[in-house]
Amino acid sequence: MIQITIALMLAHSISAAAQLANAPSLNEFFGLNQNTTEPFSIAYRSLERQAAIKQRKAEFPYGPDIWTGSLVTGLAFPDINASTKASDFVMAQFNDLFGEQVKILGVTAVEVNSTAVATSAANDQPFETLEDFYKLYQGEWSTSIPNGPFPGVLRNGTNDLTFSMERLSIQPYSVRRLPSGQELAFAVDDHIVKELSGGLTLADLLRQQRLFYVDYRDQGQLQVTPGRFAGACDAFFYLHPKTGDFLPLAIRPNAGSSLIYTPADGQYDWLYAKILFNLNDLWFGQWFHLTSTHEVIDAVYLAALRTMSNQHPVFNMLTRLSLQNFAVRLLGVKALVNPGGPVDMVFAWNGSEAKRYAGYLVQERGGANFSSFYLDNDLKARGLIGGQGPELKHFPFLEDSKRITNSIRRVLKTLIYSYYPSDRSVCWDTELQDWIWEASGPGQVPMFPSRVRTRHELLDLLVHYAYLVSVVHGVLNTNDLSLAQFVAPWHVTSFSRPLPTQKGLTEKDLIDSLPPKAQLIQAIGLAAAFARPSFKNSDRALINMFNDTLRLPRYNDQVRHANQEFQDEMAAFSNEIQARRFDRNGLSQGMPFIWSVLDPSIVPFYLTI
């Protein structure tokens, strides 16, 4: 509450004027102003540029991961304690972000309080029915969640298809198809499996490669906050042989419970299991988003700062996409996972456990690997595309992300092929090659390419950078939290009672196991603090990813033309997304909810908080 009070005070003292997307506080550092018109260029062994780069390299030494304090469990961050220049740079980004964030916190603090009053949270009486939880979203979040959660997320929250399709939309980075012959983590009664799947056994589903798996058992290693409870679920999903629907088959809670839940269980037992799973899914998604986007981008961009000139076209593209990147992890340490901070207040695990889990994801799960998360590489490795078993009938994440990344690829291909007339010219660009060597060597970015010898390889690398800052971050964080991932009662941040040891839950039992109203409202407020609905049609939206008023004039005509085509394509895609409605079966993209998080007119083009 102290943080909210400070935020409210600061919100009144900070101008509400929108900041330009090219970060005014850093323009001087990059030599950006309306009077600088020198075209960007590739200089082969320019002594003048090399001297400036050498100086900046000394000014930006590598420091340890700011979250874990280690380069074993995290990636490099500028050493702001050893360098005044690096400290000034990071703090300039931080002040930009902080000025933006305190205004948002001022709004959400008011909305939290008004929601608490409207739902009588102070009396600590639980809701009586699950539908009563909808009152949490009735009109009190008009600024931070202006249109409420995605249509269908609340009303269709008990639907199994809603639950399963969330694995292919709002958090698509955990599910994988099991290869035939895979040893299964647990067994499910074949009488139940046959009843659900139209006659197939568990072995049949596995053999036909219709069986999918998500594993969060590693969360059982974390220390749960006293008085709060959580599982460490793993779960099977399957493709129905007749309908082709992607559906849940079984959930095993693990920590604190030896039960296995299926759709054949009682209504509230099965719903409890799905909510329990969603908590693990949310926890993974948030710290995986940290490691796979913020950690990686910070380290890759730091390597670029140390090796490339302000005049380089590739460096300027990276800088455009790195608007506030160093600020985010710093703010997270100070105001998210800090003792007594938001994570401590609402989650089953505290901020220290969050940092430990993020470090574990880096060290043990490859959560900061660069090239393994290239879009197609990742989905093929998990058997979601590429001809392994029956094709997914609907894959909303892939459908939307491909529309964006294909357009990004066209712009970046134009940039690369217009500035590099041949593959050989890529090899001759000493600044570019120094960056590749730096990121894969001293920068210690896991699985960053150690060699880039062709224009196509460079294109793949830059497209992935843009994909991480826009699509991956937009899916796992920002607006998706308040619109889907935190939407109670189907998604909660902890449980209030120990996991049951037997089945037979009633609706009251389920409600009593969920967090109290005040904690639920604080969680919604936390999600709202990450949201950026105000970015709609702004210069920070993805549609303006390349439309940099200070940099674009310094690129060549081909790049400027490609930017216009990109804007046209993204405007058309935005119109398509905004026109989405439920079909006659009550579905959109095969889901019982309308997912629009990657609308290019709203989702940021860069890593925001």
DSSP line for 436-493: HHHHHTTT--TT--S---SHHHHHHHHHHHHHIIIIIHHHHSTHHIIIIIT-TTTS-S
pLDDT at 22 > cutoff 80: no
Report the pLDDT value the prediction gives residue 387, as an integer from 0 to 100: 83
Mean pLDDT to the nearest integer, 404-410:
99
- 3-state secondary structure (DSSP) of residue 181: coil
Report the pLDDT value the prediction gives residue 121, as an integer from 0 to 100: 74
pLDDT tens-digit map of 455-496: 999 999 999 999 999 999 999 999 999 999 999 999 999 999
Beta-carbon count within 10 A of 159 CB: 16
Predicted confidence band of residue 20 (pLDDT cuts 50, 70, 90): low
Report the pLDDT value the prediction gives residue 517, as an integer from 0 to 100: 94
pLDDT at 541 > cutoff 70: yes
Predicted confidence band of residue 388 (pLDDT cuts 50, 70, 90): confident
Topology at the third CATH level for domain 22-54+94-130+146-173+278-483+523-579: Lipoxygenase-1; domain 5 (1.20.245)
116 vs 126: CA distance, rounded Å:
13
The whole-model pTM stands at 0.95
Q: Token digits for 589?
A: 């993209």
Which of these ranges, 34-43, 120-129, 598-607, has the smallest mean pLDDT?
A: 120-129
- Report H helices in 366-454: 375-381, 396-419, 423-428, 430-440
Beta-carbon count within 10 A of 434 CB: 18
137 vs 486: CA distance, rounded Å:
12
Q: Is the peptide bond before 489 cis (omega within 30 degrees of 0)?
A: yes
Mean pLDDT to the nearest integer, 180-202:
98
Report the pLDDT value the prediction gives residue 10, as an integer from 0 to 100: 34
Mean pLDDT to the nearest integer, 358-373:
97
Mean pLDDT to the nearest integer, 555-566:
99
Predicted confidence band of residue 21 (pLDDT cuts 50, 70, 90): low
Predicted confidence band of residue 196 (pLDDT cuts 50, 70, 90): very high
Report the pLDDT value the prediction gives residue 125, as an integer from 0 to 100: 77
Mean pLDDT to the nearest integer, 373-381:
97
Mean pLDDT to the nearest integer, 284-292:
98
231 vs 384: CA distance, rounded Å:
26
Predicted confidence band of residue 572 (pLDDT cuts 50, 70, 90): very high
- Phi, psi values for residue 151, rounded to 5°: -55, 125
Q: For the chain, which residues make up each domain, given as ranges?
A: 22-54+94-130+146-173+278-483+523-579
Mean pLDDT to the nearest integer, 107-113:
92
pLDDT at 70 > cutoff 70: yes
Q: Quote the percentage of the chain above a pLDDT of 70.
A: 96
Report the pLDDT value the prediction gives residue 95, as an integer from 0 to 100: 92
- 3-state secondary structure (DSSP) of residue 235: strand
Predicted confidence band of residue 359 (pLDDT cuts 50, 70, 90): very high
